[in-house]
Amino acid sequence: MHTTPLFFHGREGSNRGNKARWLAREYGACTPTYDTESLDAAMPRARRVLKQHRPSVVVGSSFGGAVLLKLIQEGLWDGPSVFLAQAGVKFGLEATLPTHVPAVVIHGTRDTIVDPQDSRTLAESSGAQLVEVDDDHRLGSIRASGVLGGALQSLGIRPLLYRSDDVLPFEERAEILDWLEAVISPDTTLEQRRELGAWKHRSRRLEPALVAALRGLWRHPKNDEEVKARRSIFELFSNSMVQAPYNLEVRAVDDAGELHLGTIKTTYGTSLYDFHYEWPIDGMGVRKDLIEVFPPDGGPAVPILDWLRKEGRVIFCYRCGGILSDRVERGCPGRGL
């Protein structure tokens, strides 16, 4: 399945800041919130999001750069990485990168918050590309100047709506991306969302970006209005409005040691199951992470969440718009659970 960037914001930034919004608009980035009180506090959430999203590239800004560096040093990430005024060394991490990690390190020469020398040392440790710009710690110039886009392109990351065969007209591209930005913005009213949902010219290329918004920006709805907003995003995926991957041949051994064999289906009505936590094998609810799929080619059974990812299938909860194909969790906010 095509995936999108993951962005870890800084201590003074947010998942709705300028960099986050630009990355979400232009690249469909997942921009989660997380605890920035300390590096130890940030890591549990960062690890979970990394595992769930499986990004095309990770971008870390300031404190978020420290989070990214720690994920790399823990061996949890070795893919394309972009560090923006990274604060990893300032937060006690060694200024070392594995040589096999493709990375670009960007820092402003007028930064008075984090010493630019820290990024120079980090880049030198692995031969990573170092880009120094005439800017301060906020790196406010790197979007308009093309520095950030160039860094992503050098790592093989293309923006949304990118075409290798021709150039999408600027006006058309801008209109589509304006639509995307409005859809994922928490400031958009429900009435406006209904109008946006009826727009007939949206591109299917934006579906990964909408999934990323549900994984990141809309991961934890705080009230009924936000639940409705998240559901309005999920409803744009008319081909994915299913509760479970029905009719798959599966097996599972539950916590009591009982073997379940059959297909994912139910005859008792959906109200009996919390689909965030369990899916029914021939009418018996089984925790999702215990279920394995029998591949059609006769190969070994595969954990169902891994199988869904490989097949590019994203399953949503029709009540709240939550993504059910990434994780196991109790409670659906759309059902008051």
Out of 46-60, 74-88, 138-152, 160-174, pick the least confident: 160-174
Q: State which amino acid sits at residue 134.
A: D
Domain ranges of the chain: 6-154, 170-236, 249-335
128 close to 107: Cβ distance less than 8 angstroms: no
Out of 81-95, 156-170, 202-216, 219-233, pick the least confident: 156-170
320 close to 231: Cβ distance less than 8 angstroms: yes
Name the H helices within 6-109: 18-27, 39-53, 63-73
Q: What is the model's pTM?
A: 0.89
Handedness of CA 285, 289, 291, 297 (dihedral sign): positive
pLDDT class of 329 with cuts at 50, 70, 90: confident
Q: What digits encode the pLDDT tens for the residues 249-288? A: 999 998 899 999 999 876 544 555 678 888 888 888 899 9
What was the pLDDT predicted at 337? Answer: 53
DSSP string, 210-277: HHHHHHTTTSS--SHHHHHHHHHHHTT-GGG--SS-TT-EEEEE-TTS-EEEEEB--SS-GGG--TTT
Please check the confidence at residue 40 and state whether its pLDDT lies above 50: yes
Q: What digits encode the pLDDT tens for the residues 143-183? A: 999 999 999 999 999 999 876 656 678 888 889 999 999 99
User: What is the CATH class of 6-154?
Assistant: alpha beta
Out of 12-21, 33-42, 109-118, pick the least confident: 12-21
